[in-house]
Structure formats: structure tokens, C-alpha cells
Structure 1
Amino acid sequence: MNQQDIPPKPSSPPRTGSLPKIPTRDGASAPAPDSVTWSQPRHEPAAEKRPNRRPALWKAAFVVVILAVVGSLVWLAVWLNSSPGAEAPKNAAPGVLQTAVTPPATPQPLPREGVAPAAYAVGDCFKDFDPQALASTLVPCDTPHSAQLVATLHYPDNAEYPGADPLKAKALEVCQATKLSPAAKQFPLNYQRSYPSTTSWGSGDRRVDCYVAADGGNVINASVLP
């Protein structure tokens, strides 16, 4: 037999003297096993502590309530400022409308020639009226005339120039706000409007005027205001 087929003998028997002896049932001792696995109590992982979120939720709710209150106060302040009766900005002042008859701008007796537009008063009647003229002739309203000043609106002195189109629209509003007497139905009348230019505004002109005029010349012989 080939020696390579025979397993070699161990050089020395295994040591057993150094191993602890384990007593058997019959009193004999047996060597302890090479390794011993001791069972140990199983420790369950500690339950994870969930953070208490209630304080954070209360804080968030408190912040939401505060923001809602502040927003309500801001809205109320804006509403009060925009409500009727609130003080308007200086440059947005609508002006003072006058439609009632005032004493004549020119001293008696009439007629009186060369009266400047700045001296016109509501109720004045004009002969041969030209709204673009720098002066006019005032006559008694029960004598033939071609126009009558029925309403004016005065802008504040510190107002900014609104522009030609807004002034033209405002003059139309002034005319529409005027109440005429039944005598106005006796004549073919129309409205004529006069308002400041940029040049006259710079010179202090703040008047928007509304006239009732006749196309046929000096055909009116009565006041058309109540």
C-alpha cells in the first residue's frame, strides 16, 4: 500500500489535563467541551421617547391668532381711511362747488364793460359772450344777453394741476349739478365750459365755470337760475 494513502499519526495525543472536569451522573468526571455558550438574558431596546409636541402646537396657534388680529387691525385702519368722511389728500381735494346766485361781481349800475373772468360771480349775465375772451360786458339779466354763469367750482390753492381732460370732465360734472329755473325752457340753450390752462393755473387760476348760452346771440331776457 502506498504510504500516501495512510493518514499520518498524530505527533502526540490531545491534551485533556488542562481542561476542567465536568462530573457525570455516575460520579466520573468528563472533560469540559472546548467552548461553552452561556445564555444571557435578552435586553429589549428601550422604547423611543417621542417628543412632546403640544407646547410647540400651542405656540404656533398663538402666533396665528396674533397675526390674524394684527391683519384685522390693519384692514380696519385702511377701511376707515378710505371711508366717506376721511380726510382727503391735499392734492386730491375735489374743490368747492357753487351753484347759488351771489351778488353781482361788478358794482351797480349795469351794464359794465371790461370785467375780467376772475371777477365773474354765479348769476352774472353777459352780452355778446365769448368764453375765450379776457374781458366781458355784464348786463342785467332781465335785458337781452347771450349767456349766464350758473355754476363754478374752486380747486384749493395748493392743488396740483389735474390736466386738461380731467378739468374738462369736471366742468361737465359742474354743469350737470346745476338746477335751472322754468325760464330756461323758453330759450334754446346749451352749456359752455371754461377751465384753467397750465399757464393760468400757474398764475393762480383755480376756477372751473359752467355757462348757459344761447346760440342765437342776445336772445335771453331772464335769469335761468332759481
Structure 2
Amino acid sequence: MNHQDIPPKPAAPPRTGSIPQVPAGHPGPDAAPAPAPETVTWSQAPKDSGPGKRANRGPLVWKTVFVVVILAVVGGLAWLAVWLNSSPGADPAKNAAPGVLQTTVTPPATPQPLPREGVAPAAYAVGDCFTDFDPQALASKVVPCDTGHSAQLVATYLYPDKAAYPGAEPLKAKALEVCQAAKLTPAANQFQLNYQRSFPSSTSWQSGDRRVDCYVTADRGNVINASVLP
């Protein structure tokens, strides 16, 4: 039993208005005293008993302290989460700048005459048309799109320079998204075309290649004679 549940002992035993009579057969004053009872239970603690009042306040104080501690812990965790999210370098993926998707033709500031031989992949632009196109080639021939060609670059996605290499599978998925984002004109229905994707390898990424390309290509050679982009 909790010690707080035992009322304090009274200062003296209860008194009555008269001296109690000793019943017949009860041992007289000279007899040996009876042993004291083990415990004494009173029906009500004295009104102004100090310990009685403290027993009622104790649980409330502990509950208040418990609530304050819980609030302090929750506040500390919330502050820690905010600090981690705002800390530089906490999540490189979140801090990295987004890539750039291009699906429309942008005329060059200084137009160059066509056809052009030996154009490197890094110089390809959305809208360029190629004869005898090979996506693995180190250079291609760019021609006017109203002349016979076998491929046209219809969309690109450029990763930021500081981006980490995503891996082959994520790059394949990104290339598929790029092709799905390409906007083709009804002229594309005049030819039997396929989508062809191109993305950096781990080696070319280390060399600075950050571009994912989507082409439309013809299987039968240079049979396309119109641009399929607006």
C-alpha cells in the first residue's frame, strides 16, 4: 500500500465526555497492560493535517513536470529536423539544380550553311536532321530537313554540370521521358519512324557529357524529307 494512503497518526487518542467504565471480568489497573494493536485505522484524517494536503498535490506536480519534459523533447527534435534540412550538403539531390528539357527548335544566333560535315554530338541542336545517322558515331553530317535524311533530333535533357552520375537504368528512364515529351507534327505520320534514345555512359559522364537525346529515325535510309517538329 502506498504510504500516501495512510492518514497521519493523531496527537492523542480520541476522548469522550466521561471516563470509560471497566466492564466486569476485565483485568484491573494492576493487571499487565494489553498489547498495543498492530495498526490503527481512522475513518478520516484530521482536517488541517499537512501531510494529507501534500499527498493530493504530489501527482499533479509530477504530471506537470512530465508534460514539460515531453514538450521540450518534441521541440528539440523539430529544431534538429529543420537544421538538418537547411544544412548545406545534407541532401545533394535536393540541393542540386534541376536539369533543362528542350523540345522546340531554337534558331542559332549565327546560322551556319548546310550541309555541314563532321558535326560533333556535343554540337547537335534540337531540330537538326542527319544523313546516314549513327548514334555511336563521333561526328555526323547535318543537312536541311527538307532534303533526304534518316534521323532528326527532337528533344534533349541537359543535367547540371555538378550532378552525380545517375546510373545506366535511371538514364534510360530519363531518355524515355524525354522522347515522351517530344511534340511532333502531323508530318511524322507520313513516314515509318522509330524513337531512338542516346544517353551518357559512365566514362563520357566523367568527360563532361550531361545530355540525354531523343531522335526519330527511319530504318530504310535517308527517306525522310520534312521536319517533324513545329
**What is the TM-score of this pair, normalised by structure 1?**
0.69
Give the match for residue 60 of structure 2: 54
Q: Distance in 1 between matches of 2:112 and 2:127?
A: 14
Change beyond 3 A, Cα 1:144–1:111: same
Change beyond 3 A, Cα 1:89–1:61: closer
Q: Distance in 1 between matches of 2:192 and 2:180?
A: 17
2:222 paired with 1:218:
yes
CA drift at 1:200: 1.0
Residue correspondence of structure 1 range 195-214 to structure 2 within 5 A: 195-214=199-218
Change beyond 3 A, Cα 1:165–1:105: farther
Q: Distance in 2 between matches of 1:172 and 1:133?
A: 21
Q: Distance in 1 between matches of 2:156 and 2:139?
A: 17
Change beyond 3 A, Cα 1:168–1:195: same
CA drift at 1:164: 1.4
* Partner amino acid, structure 2, of 1:37: A
Task: Among all aligned residue pairs of Structure 1 and Structure 2, give the percentage whose two residues are the same amino acid.
Answer: 64
Give the match for residue 112 of structure 1: 116
Q: 1:36 aligns with which of 20, 23, 30?
A: 30
Q: 2:140 aligns with which of 136, 143, 146?
A: 136
| Number of aligned residues | 185
CA drift at 1:183: 0.5
Q: Distance in 2 between matches of 1:160 and 1:195?
A: 14
* Partner amino acid, structure 2, of 1:185: N
Q: Distance in 1 between matches of 2:109 and 2:176?
A: 23
**What is the TM-score of this pair, normalised by structure 2?**
0.68
Residue correspondence of structure 1 range 170-189 to structure 2 within 5 A: 170-189=174-193
Larger radius of gyration: 1
CA drift at 1:107: 4.7
Residue pair 1:105, 1:119 contacting (<8 A) in 2 also: no
Change beyond 3 A, Cα 1:136–1:104: farther
Structure 1 gaps of 5+ residues are 1-34, 82-86
Q: Distance in 1 between matches of 2:95 and 2:67?
A: 43
Question: After TM superposition, which residue ranges in structure 1, 4 or more long, deviate above 6 angstroms?
Answer: none
Structure 2 gaps of 5+ residues are 1-28, 46-50, 87-91
Change beyond 3 A, Cα 1:113–1:105: farther
Residue pair 1:143, 1:222 contacting (<8 A) in 2 also: yes
CA drift at 1:89: 2.7
* Partner amino acid, structure 2, of 1:213: T
Q: Distance in 1 between matches of 2:155 and 2:116?
A: 21
CA drift at 1:95: 1.3
CA drift at 1:141: 0.6
CA drift at 1:103: 2.0
SS of 2:170's equivalent in the other structure is: helix
* Partner amino acid, structure 2, of 1:139: V
SS of 1:63's equivalent in the other structure is: helix
SS of 1:89's equivalent in the other structure is: helix
